[in-house]
Amino acid sequence: MSGSRAEAEEKVGSRQRLQVNEYKENQNIAYVSLRPVQTTVLGKTAKVYLVPFSLSSYKPDQLKRSKSLLDKNSNNEVACKKCKKAEIKKTCRRILTPKMEATSSKAESTLQKSSLDVHAESNKWQYKSTSDTVILSADTESSQDGDSDEGTTPGMDDFSGLSPYEKKRLKNISENANFFASLQLSESAARLREMIKKRQPPESKRKKPKKKENETGCRRSMRLLKVDPSGVSLPATPTQPILVADENPLLPPGPLEMTSENRDDNSELFKGFLQTWAEVSKTRSKNTEKELSSIKSYKANLNGMIISEDTVYKVTKGPIFSMAFHPSEIRTLVAAGARSGQVGLWDLTHQPKEDGVHIFQPHSQPVSCLYFSPANPAHLLSLSYDGTLRCGDFSRAVFEEVYRDERSSFSSFDFLAEDASTLIVGHWDGSMSLVDRRTPGTSCEKLINSSLSKIRTVHVHPVHRQYFITAGLRDIHIYDARFLNRSRIKPLISLTEHTKSIASAYFSPLTGNRVVTTCADCKLRIFDSSCISSKIPLLTTIRHNTITGRWLTRFQAVWDPKQEDCIIVGSMAHPRRVEIFHERGKWVHSFLGGECLASVCSINAMHPTRYILAGARD
């Protein structure tokens, strides 16, 4: 009984030792699992051999025999395990599939990394389990040391605690890792990187040719070297200042002959033209006071006015800045001043119309104001930006110089006396000049500094000629010519209703009881100037587009000399037109020309006695 019991205990002990060794082998396997694996740590049972002995009959060799017996049994167990592991390894190699062999290097590296992580984790759990277990047998220690030193794949008996799927999966992972490690892909990739590296070509430095000491140089011109044939250097040539030609040179002072720019001076056509102007100027229109016609009859006369191709012609070169009608009732004569300084004269009764146009050049800069003399219609006075005021005498065919100031630029003028002997001239810098034509020379009598920074137009009252009105940048001033003795005068009346730049201001032609102004705020204003006192009231404001832009001449609303309660002004509306308004703000008439009036008429003038309108376009 005791013998059979000892054999049973020995079998149970051997099973327990195998189970313990199986757990250790499973912990050393490298695998990656998507779910936690439940394992059971089995306690290790020490195998104790009981040998009876007594102290009296003690022999040291007895314990040595038992110890040698233990060593023999343990060695047999390790040898059996090694044989089983070798057989499993051969079987796994035979079942490798082609799909495993074609796995990429990327999968290899991933598997290696995962195997290392799992191995580290298994070791961690192993140390934790072994620390809690008490090893009482020398046989278990020896079997565990043998298994840890051996890094091979465990046998099929070692997977008894796992499912068939887990066993196959772990086996495939270990075999793939070993296979990709045998391919040595990382070393091959490193060799390819070294082969791909570009080799920079060595910098080749160009060798400069050595100059020969006795070599003759290139021949050079002595003129370019600035030396004479003997080898002596020539003196430096003095540099002459470069003269920049003025675009608009001033014309010489003094009278200028009337030389036509588009006709021969000796031609009979030009001589007949001068003779016609002289004869027409002798016949003056009678100054008979007549009452204003009614608006109804006035509209009827305007409706009878038409425009045709025969009455359209280019008189000057460039845009027109000023225009005037000759007061003759026999022939239709028009004068126009251009930006180029030209003055064009057109006789509309002469046919063909090309032969009735004559162009002169009395100025070098834009002609901003033109008037026929009220005392002698054969005299045409023109004022220019170049600082000159000239009088064209058609009877003598000469342009006389009335006033000259090269330091200033003139903007406008008007006659202070009915006989045109005295004039008031406005400057662009805000000053004014009083000119007396009876005084010899071309200087002014007085130079007055006004409170305006700029003067655009000057106009004299038709009845009380001591008053004149000036249009400045933002203000309208009315002055009394009798108090022009002081250096800086103050205006009698100042109109400050305008919010933007002012283009013009004119008294009504017959009585002077109204003043019309043109402003860039798209408004035409009419004031009551019947009683010139400290202030003149505003009567009417007419909405009208006055924005002409940079390249067009600015609009200037003027009175009709025959109907002083109506004003004439250009328009930006389409189709192009010239409009007439009543002083109360009502629209009266629009001149539509169709194809003959295809551009904007900025400057307009009405004949003093006849129903003839002249419009200038750019």
What integer is the mean pLDDT of 557-563? Answer: 94
With a CB cutoff of 8 Å and minimum separation 6, the contacts of 210 are none
**CA pair distance 345, 389, nearest whole angstrom:** 18
Crossing angle between the packed helical segments 2-28 and 60-94, to the nearest 10 degrees:
50
**Whole-model pTM over 0.85:** no
**CA pair distance 552, 601, nearest whole angstrom:** 9
- The percentage of residues in the chain with a pLDDT greater than 90, rounded to a whole number, is 41
Q: Which of 43-52, 189-198, 208-217, 492-501 has the lowest mean pLDDT?
A: 43-52
Output 542 or 212, whichever has higher pLDDT: 542
Tell me the pLDDT of the chain averaged across its residues: 76
Beta bridge partners of 526: 516, 540
Q: Which of 261-275, 345-359, 370-384, 494-508 has the lowest mean pLDDT?
A: 261-275
Q: Is the pLDDT of residue 183 over 60?
A: yes
How high is the pLDDT of residue 432?
Answer: 93
Look up residue 528 and give its two tokens. Answer: 């009551």
**CA pair distance 98, 568, nearest whole angstrom:** 105
Helix (H, G, I), strand (E, B) or coil at 108: helix
Q: Is the pLDDT of residue 260 over 90?
A: no
The pLDDT tens digits for 167-177 are: 999 999 999 99
Q: Is the pLDDT of residue 470 over 80?
A: yes
Q: Which of 215-224, 320-329, 346-355 has the lowest mean pLDDT?
A: 215-224
Question: What is the H or E stretch that residue 320 is in?
Answer: strand 320-325
- Band (pLDDT 50/70/90 cuts) for residue 428 is very high
Q: Is the pLDDT of residue 542 over 60?
A: yes
Question: What is the H or E stretch that residue 277 is in?
Answer: helix 268-282
Return the closest-CA partner of residue 387 out of 250, 574, 507, 589. Answer: 250
Q: Is the pLDDT of residue 531 over 80?
A: yes
- Band (pLDDT 50/70/90 cuts) for residue 202 is low
Q: Is the pLDDT of residue 57 over 60?
A: no
Q: Which of 121-135, 387-401, 485-499 has the highest mean pLDDT?
A: 387-401
How high is the pLDDT of residue 518?
Answer: 96
Q: Is the pLDDT of residue 128 over 70?
A: no
How high is the pLDDT of residue 352?
Answer: 83
- Band (pLDDT 50/70/90 cuts) for residue 528 is very high
Where are the strands (E) in 483-600, listed by range? 493-495, 502-507, 514-519, 523-528, 538-543, 558-559, 566-570, 577-582, 587-592
How high is the pLDDT of residue 144?
Answer: 40
